[in-house]
Chain A
Amino acid sequence: MKVELQNLTKIFPSRNKKSGGEVTAVNDFTFTIPDGMLVGLLGPSGCGKSTTLYMISGLQKPSSGKIFFGDEDVTELSPENRGVGLVFQNYALYPHLTVKQNIMFPLQNLRGTDKLSKQEMQERALEAAKLVQIDELMDRKPSELSGGQQQRVAIARALVKMPRVLLLDEPLSNLDARLRLQTREEIRRIQKETGITTVFVTHDQEEAMSISDMIVVMKLGVLQQIGKPQDIYDDPTNLFVAKFLGTPPINVFNGKVENGTLYIGNDAVLEVGGVDDQPVWVGIRPEGFTPDDNGALVCKLNNVEVMGRDVSVVSTHEASANPIVRSIVNADNKIDVTAENIKYSLKPHKVFIFNKETEERIYFEVK
């Protein structure tokens, strides 16, 4: 099921009428989720991800804008008529019911022609449980399950109605690192198996990059960029997106463009065509540095962290906006750890420049 959001806006009225200060949680959001895709909704805490999800599910009414499932306008539809499955951050399992009863709960509200017999409900519940591999835990209570198992029960409960759209609100945030990896693979697998259009909310960019077909980056309720994870990483539209994606994070420098040359501090690092003279932010991905004795960018070497195939070089530069400059280079590059400075040449496609004021990307021609 294709999901389309048109100019979706959500404004929360302020509690205190006099002081004003209403919150625009989601601001003029427009995008389309193609059928059968897993979309990662990514952004820092409080940027309106949950609000967007609640509006798609129908739990909150948009202040303005429209929501379409396929060609059907569902904006005014109540949650139960939309056919969505929702998995909450804290799972929200009914603590007094067994796993089986939890999974069967949504089926008990089906009316009219959809109404199921007890037998059918049990079969459907078992089917959903098998999909998430918890069919052996059916008679336990949620308190007797591990976090990962609870999470899978929550997914089974969301899937059992065969929803048209599956919505997951930071479903992995309560899990430990290992379980998180494992569960996100699981979600990926389940999504591929069922082919249900899925929206997955997270503030962890690594998580979003690893499982999503498409990423939507948000900031303060405003959509920043939509695209395939690799495309967004390789081609961020603004400084926020560039900084938000990637581990280790991108290195940001104060720089300027003069006569077609990009300067970081006093180092003339790159020829950039088609850019007017101006002060800029320069973002360089950690893998964009190549140690080079003739390189233009001179950094003070701090230390080298060995990671096996690669090494991570920690250095400083007076024009850097961050305390350190971290680069990831191939271990074959023999680096003299005792040297005072390290010189880099830059890979042009790993270098992004942004307008100093608007922080929008400035595209340049590589010469």
Chain B
Amino acid sequence: MENNSNSSLKVMKEKDIRKVASTQKVAKVFGQILVYTFLGIMALIVLFPFYFMIISSLKSLEEYRLAVPTLIPQSWKFQNYTDILIPFEMAEANGWVGTLVSPEAATNDFDLFTLFRNTMFVGIVSTILSLVITVLSAFAFARLNFKGKNALFAALLGTMMIPGELFTITNYATVMTKGGWFPTFFNGLGNMFGLFGPDFRIPFVDSSFAALIVPFLVSVFYIYLLRQNFLQIPNELYLAAKVDGTSDIKYLCKVMIPLALPTIISITILKMMGAWNSYMWPRLVANDDAHRLITNGLRNAFNDVSGNTDYPRQMAAVALVSLPLFLVFIFFRKYIMKGVSRSGIKG
């Protein structure tokens, strides 16, 4: 009797379990369908501008201006790209005009090479200098003991409360005031303060490039990020290194930096991307032909006398300019994700 009821209970249980399991399965599959549908739609929404950029860049201006935009170009106009990539003089010399390069390219005012060079210069120099500053200050705040360390760090963090736009005005005043210390110093540095005669110039060293680089060298947030990372390294490693006679700087290079490398790479990439994408500040302080950066170059070019913009060619330029970032993203996806999720708190 008891055995019987026991076994029937067991069967019931098994049945129940199977039932529950199958409901679970259905719910899981259903849930996954929902999730993937959602993700698919979001991906479409995110990707559509890129798609539109690419197809627009391959249309002719007439097609682009159609009231109902085409989703696939009727005729593929690769000249939009070659016009930018191949200098017009070179095309003329080789007789490519009319085939590889369109005749309108004669009026091309988008100097890809100069813009690219300027942006690379500013990006690389500001990234390197800023990394050095970030690593050294993070090291000092994490490892060294000096008077007022905590107060200084709190003050630094406090500056994060001030919105960046406020700095823009004061920074602008600092770097642009004629005869102010900033232009005087950096222009002076450019010709080594007249040491080698008044006409001596070091390329790329002048107040405009300095204005693009110097105000953003110190990033409190990155210092904070790296300091937190450094603090997680156990104190014993430092003591062990000290017993072995390792100097602070050697310990920094051989132990702390390798251990914090993921963060440092994230910072590098984010800094590079920031330099590549910056728009407002460069427009304010360096909007002349010699110093213009790529974002402003894109904005300024491709306008004819009547103020009409040649959008397909502008889109082609945008696509070309986005390519390096796209490649960086492909190769360093892991680090960018980490960096972005870390800096997420900052927005």
A residues sitting closer than 8 Å to B (CB atoms) are 54, 57-59, 78-81, 84-86, 88-90, 92, 94-96, 105-106, 109-110, 157, 161
| 9 nearest A-B residue pairs (beta carbon) | A80-B245, A92-B236, A106-B244, A109-B245, A92-B240, A88-B236, A96-B258, A79-B243, A86-B243
Contact with A along B31-42 (1 / 0, CB 8 A): 000000000000
For A95, list chain B residues within 8 Å (CB). 259
Report A173 CB to chain B, min CB distance, Å.
13
For B259, list chain A residues within 8 Å (CB). 95-96
A sample of 10 cross-chain residue pairs with beta-carbon separation below 8 angstroms, ordered by A number, consists of A57-B243, A80-B245, A86-B240, A89-B236, A92-B234, A95-B259, A96-B255, A105-B241, A109-B246, A157-B240
- Residue picked from A81, A90, A105, most chain B C-beta under 10 Å: A105
Does B15 sit at the interface, judged by CB under 8 A?
no
| A80→B242 contact, CB < 8 A | yes
Does B239 sit at the interface, judged by CB under 8 A?
yes
| B245→A59 contact, CB < 8 A | no
| B255→A59 contact, CB < 8 A | no
Q: How far is the CA of A95 from the CA of B242 in the complex (A)?
A: 17
**Interchain CB contact (< 8 A) of A88 among B239, B245, B246, B255:** B239
For B240, list chain A residues within 8 Å (CB). 86, 88, 92, 157
| A85→B243 contact, CB < 8 A | yes
| A92→B244 contact, CB < 8 A | no
Does B237 sit at the interface, judged by CB under 8 A?
yes
How many B residues face the partner with a CB closer than 8 A?
16
Using known A-B contacts A95-B259, A96-B258, A96-B259, determine if residue A80 contacts B244 with beta carbons closer than 8 Å: yes
Q: How far is the CA of A54 from the CA of B235 in the complex (A)?
A: 13
| B239→A161 contact, CB < 8 A | no
**Interchain CB contact (< 8 A) of A105 among B239, B242, B244:** B244
Report A5 CB to chain B, min CB distance, Å.
18
| B239→A86 contact, CB < 8 A | yes
Using known A-B contacts A94-B255, A95-B259, A96-B258, determine if residue A59 contacts B236 with beta carbons closer than 8 Å: no
Q: Give me 10 other A-B pairs in contact (C-beta within 8 A), A90-B234, A94-B255, A106-B245 excluded.
A: A57-B243, A80-B243, A84-B243, A86-B239, A86-B240, A86-B243, A92-B234, A95-B259, A105-B244, A157-B240
Q: How far is the CA of A330 from the CA of B255 in the complex (A)?
A: 58
Q: How far is the CA of A78 from the CA of B234 in the complex (A)?
A: 21
| B244→A59 contact, CB < 8 A | no
For A81, list chain B residues within 8 Å (CB). 245
Report A89 CB to chain B, min CB distance, Å.
8
Nearest CB to that of A90 among chain B residues? Answer: B236
| B245→A92 contact, CB < 8 A | no
Q: How far is the CA of A195 from the CA of B315 in the complex (A)?
A: 77
List residues of B (238-254) whose CB comes within 8 Å of A's CBs. 239-246, 250, 254
Report A162 CB to chain B, min CB distance, Å.
13
For B241, list chain A residues within 8 Å (CB). 105
For A85, list chain B residues within 8 Å (CB). 243
- Residue picked from A58, A78, A92, A106, most chain B C-beta under 10 Å: A92
Contact with A along B221-243 (1 / 0, CB 8 A): 00000000000001011011111
For B243, list chain A residues within 8 Å (CB). 57-59, 79-80, 84-86, 106
Nearest CB to that of A96 among chain B residues? Answer: B258
For A80, list chain B residues within 8 Å (CB). 242-246
For B239, list chain A residues within 8 Å (CB). 54, 59, 86, 88, 92
| B244→A161 contact, CB < 8 A | yes
Q: How far is the CA of A161 from the CA of B243 in the complex (A)?
A: 11
Contact with A along B123-167 (1 / 0, CB 8 A): 000000000000000000000000000000000000000000000
| A79→B242 contact, CB < 8 A | yes
Report A61 CB to chain B, min CB distance, Å.
13
Nearest CB to that of B242 among chain A residues? Answer: A79
Report B57 CB to chain A, min CB distance, Å.
45
**Interchain CB contact (< 8 A) of B245 among A54, A79, A90:** A79
Q: How far is the CA of A161 from the CA of B240 in the complex (A)?
A: 13
For A161, list chain B residues within 8 Å (CB). 244
For A54, list chain B residues within 8 Å (CB). 239
Q: How far is the CA of A88 from the CA of B234 in the complex (A)?
A: 11
For A89, list chain B residues within 8 Å (CB). 236
For A110, list chain B residues within 8 Å (CB). 245
Report B185 CB to chain A, min CB distance, Å.
40
For A84, list chain B residues within 8 Å (CB). 243
Report B255 CB to chain A, min CB distance, Å.
6
- Residue picked from B243, B244, B255, most chain A C-beta under 10 Å: B243
Nearest CB to that of A81 among chain B residues? Answer: B245
Nearest CB to that of B255 among chain A residues? Answer: A94
Report B271 CB to chain A, min CB distance, Å.
23
Q: How far is the CA of A54 from the CA of B243 in the complex (A)?
A: 10
Report A342 CB to chain B, min CB distance, Å.
50
For A58, list chain B residues within 8 Å (CB). 243
For A106, list chain B residues within 8 Å (CB). 243-245
**Interchain CB contact (< 8 A) of A109 among B234, B244, B258:** B244
Report B6 CB to chain A, min CB distance, Å.
41
For A90, list chain B residues within 8 Å (CB). 234, 236
Q: How far is the CA of A95 from the CA of B232 in the complex (A)?
A: 13
Q: How far is the CA of A80 from the CA of B243 in the complex (A)?
A: 5
For B254, list chain A residues within 8 Å (CB). 105
Q: How far is the CA of A291 from the CA of B246 in the complex (A)?
A: 63
Nearest CB to that of B245 among chain A residues? Answer: A80
List residues of B (7-63) whose CB comes within 8 Å of A's CBs. none
